[in-house]
Amino acid sequence: MTEIREFKVIDTDNIVRTDKYLSAQMPDFSRSEIQKFNITRKDGRAVKMSEKIRVGDEFVVEIPAVQTDIATENISTDFNLDILFEDDDIIVVNKPRGVVMYPSAGNKTGTLVQNILAHTHLSTLGGEVRPGVVHRLDKDTSGVMVFAKSDAAFRELVKTFSEHDLTRKYIAFVWGIPNWEEADITGNIARSSRNRQKMTMVKSGGKPAHTEATVMNAWSHAGVSQMRCKLFTGRTHQIRVHLSAHGFPVLCDPLYGRGSAKLGSVKDADLLDFLKSHDGQMLHAEVLEFKHPITNNMMKFKAKMPDDMMELKYILEEM
């Protein structure tokens, strides 16, 4: 079913092009996806994405239903859902490590969305592949996630995340012992030109990113620290990129962890065995706090660390 969204330019701020304006209004879609939509002005005139916007401009966007060979009927129950909260509008779950968010070419079954669909319905506004999805966690990042069950909740949650009107805190085990207890890390993030799977900090371009890192524990004999990271923006791989760029890569991170260069310094047999047997970053979305999209009540959810991160902490404390 085609979805219609309408936008009226109230303030141009620093945005001058139509494509950038529409991307800011629809953060649940990539710019390449938006360029495929049927976009007109309110009076029916065609729109060029490179055109400059003006205050008062009105746009009508037709978003076609997602066509895919992976239908939402392909639900599955490959793992037990850890449901933290559920009502008629939202469902909050603790995502396991190693689980993909939604179906893709290489992952057609066993995804988090499919398991939720085996339990309940989700808003169709995210499309057939991504129903109810308003934010994402990487495959090997565990923790608290909220999904929209009603269309009204979907719209409000998308707005909440795009405006960063919520609190997100993560736990990370990292290489290195900082000489500070708390640090504000800022720096624009963009996709790497050398490796399209990676993101990188850039001096110009990209998107602004802000992470607050606090040291929770430090094991100097192992050269490892435990940090709590608070996100003020939500860029792809933000914590992993920011910490790695500042010399504190997340343990077991295959993209940014630089693990092979660090393993030689590990003397403890149990820690070395753990690090060699894990290939998913030691990162967990611990806290998610936001206003309920319908009732407007403040809600706070906290998920305990997964077993492997608990095991890692035990090893470090026993060394």
The answer to whether the CB of 141 falls within 8 A of the CB of 255 is no
CA 85 vs CA 22, 77, 158: distances in Å: 33, 19, 19
259 neighbors 251 (Cβ within 8 angstroms): yes
With CA atoms as reference, report the closest residue to 295 among 98, 156, 126. 156
The mean pLDDT of 90-94, rounded to a whole number, is: 98
Would you say 302 and 144 are in contact if contact means Cβ atoms under 8 Å apart?
yes
- Higher-pLDDT residue of 204, 179: 179
DSSP state letters, 260-273: HHHGGG---HHHHH
The span from the CA of 19 to the CA of 258, in Å, is 37
Non-local CB neighbours of 221 within 8 Å, separated by 6+ positions: 319
Instruction: List the Cα angle 143/77/286 in 5-degree steps.
Output: 5
pLDDT in tens, 190-213: 988 888 788 999 988 889 999 999
Backbone angles phi, psi at 315, to 5 degrees: -60, -45
List, for residues 117-165, the tens digit of each pLDDT value: 999 999 998 888 889 999 999 999 999 999 999 999 999 999 999 999 9
Q: Distance between the two ends of the chain, CA-based, in angstroms?
A: 58
Separation in Å, CA 288 to CA 84, 135, 265, 303 = 11, 12, 35, 9
Bridge partner residues of 6 (DSSP): 60
The pTM (predicted TM-score) of the whole model is 0.77
Residue 61's CB: how many other CB atoms inside 10 A? 19
Angle ∠(67,161,208) on CA atoms, nearest 5: 105
Q: What is the pLDDT of residues 63-84, one digit of tens each?
A: 875 544 444 455 666 678 999 9
Contacts of 33 (CB under 8 A, 6+ apart): none
Which residue in the list 28, 57, 89, 138 is annotated as catalytic?
138
pLDDT tens digits, one per residue of 32-74: 778 878 899 888 888 888 888 888 889 899 887 554 444 445 5
Closest CA to 26 of 121, 139, 125: 125
Q: Nearest-CA neighbor of 213 among 242, 237, 190, 234?
A: 242
* φ, ψ of residue 272 in degrees (nearest 5): -65, -40
Q: Which residue has the tokens 């490796």?
A: 195
Distances (CA, A) of 289 to 103, 171, 180, 282: 27, 15, 27, 22
Split at pLDDT 50, 70, 90, the class of 101 is very high
Concerning whether 138 is annotated as a catalytic residue, the answer is yes
The overall average pLDDT reported for the chain is: 89
CB 309 within 8 A of CB 170: no
